[in-house]
Amino acid sequence: MGHEERRADELEAALSDDERAFLDKLADGLARRRLTTPALFFLESMKPLGFLGSQAMIMFRPLVSVVLSSPDSYDRLARILERRGSIELLLRRLEART
Amino acid sequence: MGTGDPSDAFLPRDSLVCDACFCYIGSSVTLAWTAHPARRRPRDLALVAAVLFLTSGAVLLSFESLFMTGLAAVILVVSVGSFLFPTHYRLSEEGIEERRLGVKRARRWAELRRLEIGPGAALVSPFAKKSWLDRTRGFLLLFDGADRQAVVDELRRRIGAADGA
């Protein structure tokens, strides 16, 4: 397997059940809103910037907390995106829902 | 059958080469081959070189910048990389691997859901329906340098297919 695939496999194994369920829920939500294709395009093009994206999410956390009463999901997503291979895991889940 | 080229790190050391199709057969590898269309189609290579030369010339004339000319040439060469450079494919028990210019991509069979077979290549995609990302997330397996029927049979056995041609 390639490095990226191996890294994603390792992350999949390292994720907790809660985190896996969260990624599934996120993919389900995107599929339900028929956003699978735009999300795939966006994530595929932004894949190398996953870590920076997570840090940007942390930077904008104070602003987000004004809008969202309980940004738990936001924090959880930022924590998952910090880990290499996380976007590949989300891509795989979206692919399975096409 | 003869022994494989040991200098090719992509292949297992115990690989054997099938005399009929020059494909590599290893212990866990079902099929392996190298596609290099530029080597087998010199007329198309000449056309690519002409387009590259003319485009680079046009960029040099219009921008008057060596940097932009070099950039244009690099972009063009990369965009026809599957034609110009050798691509190593490997079908194993685990999945598909593709390597070109040192970049390796791989997917498991379980993740691949759609197969379309054309005269010169097969598209293997993780998407059940046609998608713009088919070639980005999936593979375009060139039959160049391979035993087409053996590759098609293997892909059909693993994925199942709808013929594209």
Closest residue on chain A to B102 (Cα) = A2
- Say whether residue B133 is in contact with chain A using an 8 A CB cutoff: yes
Domain range for A9 is 3-96
**pLDDT tens, position by position, A10-27:** 888 899 999 999 999 999
> Phi/psi class of residue B136: alpha, beta or left (left: φ > 0; alpha: ψ in -120 to 50)?
alpha
- Which among B105, B108, B131 has the least Cβ separation from residue A37? B131
Give me the amino acid identity at B21. C
**Stated pTM of the model:** 0.74
Q: Which residues contact B25 (CB under 8 A, 6 or more apart)?
A: B1, B15, B16, B17, B18, B31, B32
- Which among B106, B126, B131 has the least Cβ separation from residue A2? B106
Q: Where are the beta strands (DSSP E) in B110-163?
A: 114-117, 121-125, 139-142, 162-163
**pLDDT tens, position by position, A30-89:** 999 999 989 999 999 988 888 999 999 999 999 988 888 778 889 999 999 999 889 999
Mutation site for A-interface testing, chosen from B96, B99, B105, B112 by largest number of A Cβ within 10 Å: B105
Please report which helix (H) or strand (E) contains residue B36, including its range. none
Could B132 and A41 be called an inter-chain contact, meaning their C-beta atoms sit closer than 8 Å? yes
CA atoms lying within 13 Å on the CB side of residue A41: 5
Judge contact between B115 and B162, C-beta under 8 A.
yes
* Number of structural domains in chain A: 1
Q: How far apart (Å, rounded) are the C-alpha atoms in residues B144 and B66?
A: 35
State the Cα angle at B43 between B39 and B49, rounded to 5°.
85
Least reliable range by pLDDT among A53-67, A69-83, B5-19, B133-147: B5-19
Structure tokens at A96: 């399975």
- Say whether residue B126 is in contact with chain A using an 8 A CB cutoff: yes
- Which among A4, A5, A98 has the least Cβ separation from residue B131? A98
Q: Where is pLDDT greater, at B160 or A37?
A: A37
Q: How far apart (Å, rounded) are the C-alpha atoms in residues A90 and B126?
A: 14
Going by pLDDT thresholds of 50, 70 and 90, the confidence category of residue B48 is very high
Residues in chain B closer than 8 A to A4 (CB atoms): 105
ipTM of the complex: 0.72
User: What's residue B161's pLDDT?
Assistant: 52
